[in-house]
Amino acid sequence: MTGRTDASAALFERGRAVTPGGVNSPVRAFNAVGGTPRFIRSAAGAWLTDVDGNEYVDLICSWGPMLLGHAHPEVQAAVTAAVARGTSYGTPTEPEVELAEEIVARAPVERVRFVSSGTEATMSAIRLARGFTGRDVVLKFAGCYHGHVDSLLASAGSGLATFALPGTPGVPESSTALTMVLPYNDRAAVEKAFAEHGDRIACLITEAAPGNMGVVPPEPGFNQFLAETCAKHGALFVSDEVMTGFRVSRRGQWGLDGAVEGWTPDLVTFGKVMGGGFPAAAFGGRADVMSRLAPEGPVYQAGTLSGNPIATTAGLTTLRLATDDVYAHIGAAADTIKTAAADELSKAGVAHVVQATGTMFSVFFSSTAARDFDDASRTDSKAYAAYFHAMLDHGVYLPPSAYEAWFLSAAHDDRAVQTVLDALPHAARAAAAAQENA
């Protein structure tokens, strides 16, 4: 059992006095599960240490980036050496070229442009798609998250194939008036949208495999269908691999479907793993589309810290170390944990479905599989909150929301996995008790 939380609680109180909700990204605040977020002081390998000295096996991994585990010695050495050479010059640098080459070698893109966050990557990809096609409408799926881009913080209007409404105060209707939000995995809805608005659609953007509503994999052939439908109508297919890229396989989600089925997206967005724990992201794609970007073409896009030498060095070192062995190890650890989590929930009588793509998975507290956002929303978030806190009490830091993927790293060794396995029965019983009391 983990111990005191006084130091975290004190920092949370100070944080709330100077920062909205005490956090710099909402999900960190534990609003969905209650309680005090643990303030982390340090991390090494698979383990986090909080400011009270408690240790946790990390199943968040910074929401995906830490593929090799925390404070990997070779990444640390490369970054430290890079810092000693100065941290930002505002000129082109060698690591940018090397990281771009590494990405082009793995992913279905001919050119890449670096930015500093996944949000910037999707925002820029959409601008480029509109600039390239000369069209203005964007299709997205409910439950797919692409960062906090105004036009993508949209919720479905009433009925299919109508234009979207702002998903949050602060987004004007004019920003979502050109966005259509469709149910995921729904071919008929996609066909209807293209039939009605095909000649206005600049692009369709989708998570390559949704992980931001819990893991909801594309049905077999769905991404191929999207790519082909876009091509038929002269729209661009934008595959958002910010979460899945270099994470679910060495070539991302595309390595699991497009590379096998023989299709390529027009544009791809990257982030998370490719920054190796630093703020780096990218968008890339077909050379003829990417050449429309400034300074080669007329579509404007820029960034003071884009391609920052420290961030690109961390990303490059991470990707070079992300060998087939790394993915095989993470896959095996994920299988062990998935199976044990399901077994313990079954024993405790808690309805659940485990969904996965590649090495990324999540546990839905629901009796039926989720193929879209409506299904995913049926997860029992009260049971998850009880489950989450029991795991935390037993030294495992799960994502503090029922709608997130669980992430592992190459550093999740037998001791870390065993700690998770030991915690699971307690958590399953806590979830069962929460359902009985509901």
Out of 109, 236, 243, 282, name the contact with ligand PLP by CB under 6 A. 243
Q: Per rule CB under 6 A, is residue 240 in the interface with ligand PLP?
A: yes
Residues in 188-207 that interact with ligand PLP by CB under 6 A: 207
What is the number of the residue whose Cβ is closest to ligand PLP?
Answer: 118
Q: Nearest approach, Cβ of 357 to ligand PLP (angstroms)? A: 12
Out of 57, 109, 242, 421, name the contact with ligand PLP by CB under 6 A. 242
Size of the site for ligand PLP (CB under 6 A): 14
Q: Nearest approach, Cβ of 400 to ligand PLP (angstroms)? A: 16
Q: Per rule CB under 6 A, is residue 403 in the interface with ligand PLP?
A: no
Out of 5, 8, 54, 122, name the contact with ligand PLP by CB under 6 A. 122
User: How far is Cα 417 from Cα 420, in angstroms, rounded to an integer?
Assistant: 5
Other C-beta atoms lying within 10 Å of the C-beta of residue 291? 13
Among the residue ranges 111-119, 213-221, 296-304, 424-432, the one whose residues contact ligand PLP (CB under 6 A): 111-119
Enumerate residues 6+ apart whose C-beta is below 8 A from 409.
Answer: 45, 46, 58, 61, 66, 67, 68, 69, 70, 330
Q: Per rule CB under 6 A, is residue 362 in the interface with ligand PLP?
A: no
Q: Per rule CB under 6 A, is residue 156 in the interface with ligand PLP?
A: no
Active centre residues (catalytic):
145, 240, 272
Q: Nearest approach, Cβ of 149 to ligand PLP (angstroms)? A: 9
Q: Per rule CB under 6 A, is residue 357 in the interface with ligand PLP?
A: no
Among the residue ranges 37-45, 238-246, 345-353, 378-386, the one whose residues contact ligand PLP (CB under 6 A): 238-246
Exposure string of 21-41, with b = 16+ CB inside 10 Å and e = fewer, is ebbeeebbbbebbebbbbbbe
Among the residue ranges 26-34, 48-56, 140-148, 410-418, the one whose residues contact ligand PLP (CB under 6 A): 140-148
Q: Nearest approach, Cβ of 213 to ligand PLP (angstroms)? A: 11
Q: Nearest approach, Cβ of 211 to ligand PLP (angstroms)? A: 6
Enumerate residues 6+ apart whose C-beta is below 8 A from 127.
Answer: 299, 301
Q: Per rule CB under 6 A, is residue 184 in the interface with ligand PLP?
A: no
> In terms of CB distance, is 120 or 344 closer to ligand PLP?
120
Out of 30, 47, 141, 145, name the contact with ligand PLP by CB under 6 A. 145
Per CB under 6 A, residues contacting ligand PLP are: 117-119, 122, 145-147, 207, 212, 240, 242-243, 271, 281
